[in-house]
């Protein structure tokens, strides 16, 4: 019987990960969930355009209303480069400043990117 490789090894070597897809987690304060979801019904046009210009496609946010867990997903030619392209944009800085009030204070507004280990095309 072969030994199961370590999780770190599997995540680092899987052929099922893709540089084109990214998934991340955020945590919203329970008392701010309704307002947070509502604000996203009117994301600024300039923010939407900045995301497109940075290469983000199929960007979706999913919310678990029981826990405040937000799951974000997007695709890009290079997902890491697309995320980096947004970091220093003035519109993103303003948007993140506006969103800060909604996130849990223990780093809930810092995107925690997940490792992909399976994909069914």
pLDDT of residue 56: 98
pLDDT of residue 76: 98
Query: What sign does the CA torsion over 104, 60, 98, 43 have?
Result: negative
Helices (H), the chain: 7-13, 33-39, 45-53, 79-87, 90-99
pLDDT in tens, 96-121: 999 999 999 999 999 999 999 999 98
DSSP 24: E
CA-nearest of 119, 115, 111, 106 to 59 is: 111
In angstroms, the Cα distances linking 55 to 51, 59, 109, 113 are: 6, 10, 22, 17
pLDDT in tens, 4-62: 999 999 999 999 999 999 999 999 999 999 999 999 999 999 999 999 999 999 999 99
Tokens 């995320």 sit at which residue?
A: 83
User: What is the token pair recorded at 16?
Assistant: 């099922």
pLDDT of residue 80: 95
The residue annotated as part of the active site, out of 20, 40, 58, 112, is 40
9 in active site: no
């Amino acid at each position: 019987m072969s030994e199961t490789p370590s999780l770190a090894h599997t995540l680092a070597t899987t052929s099922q990960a893709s540089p084109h897809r990214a998934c991340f987690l955020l945590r919203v304060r329970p008392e701010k969930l309704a307002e947070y979801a509502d604000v996203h019904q009117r994301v600024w046009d300039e923010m939407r355009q900045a995301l497109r210009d940075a290469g983000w496609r199929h960007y979706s946010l999913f919310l678990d209303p029981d826990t405040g867990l937000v799951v974000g997903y997007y695709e890009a030619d290079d997902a890491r480069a697309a995320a980096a392209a947004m970091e220093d944009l003035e519109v993103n800085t303003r948007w993140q400043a506006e969103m800060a009030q909604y996130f849990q204070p223990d780093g809930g507004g810092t995107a925690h990117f997940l490792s992909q280990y399976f994909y069914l095309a």
